[in-house]
Amino acid sequence: MSTALRHAFLHQDCLIPQVLGALEHVELPPTPRIIFAEGFQRLLEGDAPQRELRELFEEALMLSRLVLLHTLDGNRYPPGEHAYIERVRGDPLHRLLAYELRAACEYYARLMAVTTTPHLGASVVLRTLIAADVRQDPLLGALIRQFQDHPRDADTGARLRPLPAATEEFVKECLLLERDAFGVFRFDPRADNHHLLHALQLDDITKTPESARVLRDPLLGQYGNFELVSETIHQGRWTRYTLSCRPEDHRLLPSLPELETIVAPDELDETKSLQVLVEYNKPLCDRHKQSTRESKANLAHVEVFELAAEDKRGFWEKYFLDR
């Protein structure tokens, strides 16, 4: 697997500055970032055995876990890095970035495993991190619920007062993380529920017109890559909404193709060649709990719900819906 990754990155070398630049500029403790960067650079060089690369990524994973556990280990972390850890402890955006660093370390560590299907294990740990650790983090969940309860206009979804910049940046990062991890299949069940974001269930935001206003928020329209279609039914008294995820495209480098076959010489046998099939638009996580119809036709879940128009409801509709 390390050989295939090395040839993929060297063939599209414009991706290498993206990885190293993200590690350099993110405001997290430097120690796990440096070890991860060392493992990535030795991966590109191709001289280190795969087991040594796995050890480097696992060491970076252990240190990133210590950051999330708020463990101040004097042997591991110099005193100057305590400020980074305190920031991760109290700031939701830095906490989410710390989860992403841990996910990257664990993802590459699982890819370096000696198995015939390393991508399956890497997909499982990344899905579990988002569906369990990130979803159950109380600091992140509280900010997501504040974003959900922010006052908005009933018709257009426009915000009635400005949204804090920190909340906007955090929700934007959440949306991009979900898109990279799950792609067009973001509505597949996680923990037996369909989620708009890791802490927002579709069942909770599609019950009433007040809860559904978050779907019209400008932030979701700009970074969510959702498609919301409305249709008037029942003589104009009800509105049917169809919510789905659009296919993903390249956000960072539009020049990348969707699918590419890379041919490289085989290091074990010079008479043979190594062919690597790379899908740049494919999400990092494989599908987990799709239905039989969705798996056979490769269909994504589409959420369909109906809401009554407040000014056109009849007496019995108001009586039963307001109970």
Highest-scoring range by mean pLDDT, 80-84, 249-253, 254-258: 254-258
Among 241, 239, 237, which residue's Cα sits nearest to residue 315?
Answer: 237
pLDDT on residue 259: 85
Mean pLDDT of the chain: 86
Q: DSSP class of residue 229? A: E
Overall pTM surpassing 0.75 (yes/no): yes
Task: Identify any residues that bridge with 152 across adjacent strands, giving them in sequence order.
Answer: 159
The token pair at 169 is 């940046």
The answer to whether 162 and 150 are in contact (CB under 8 A) is no
Per-residue pLDDT reduced to its tens digit, 49-63 = 999 999 999 999 999
Per-residue pLDDT reduced to its tens digit, 146-159 = 999 999 987 788 89
3-state secondary structure of 114: coil
Q: How many CB atoms lie within 10 A of CB 48?
A: 16
pLDDT on residue 110: 94
Highest-scoring range by mean pLDDT, 161-165, 185-189, 192-196: 161-165
pLDDT at residue 72 above 50?
A: no
Q: What is the per-residue DSSP string for 256-321?
A: S-SEEEEEEE-SS-TTSEEEEEEETTS-SSPP-S--HHHHHHTPPP-EEEEEE-GGG--HHHHHHH
Alpha helices in the chain (DSSP H): 2-11, 15-25, 30-45, 50-68, 82-90, 92-111, 118-128, 135-136, 138-148, 165-182, 202-205, 218-223, 292-297, 315-321
For CA atoms 274, 278, 284, 289, the dihedral sign is negative
Per-residue pLDDT reduced to its tens digit, 191-247 = 778 899 888 899 989 888 888 999 999 999 999 999 999 998 888 888 899 999 998
**Backbone φ and ψ of 29, nearest 5°:** -50, 135
pLDDT at residue 115 above 90?
A: no
pLDDT on residue 154: 78
| Length of the chain (residues) | 323
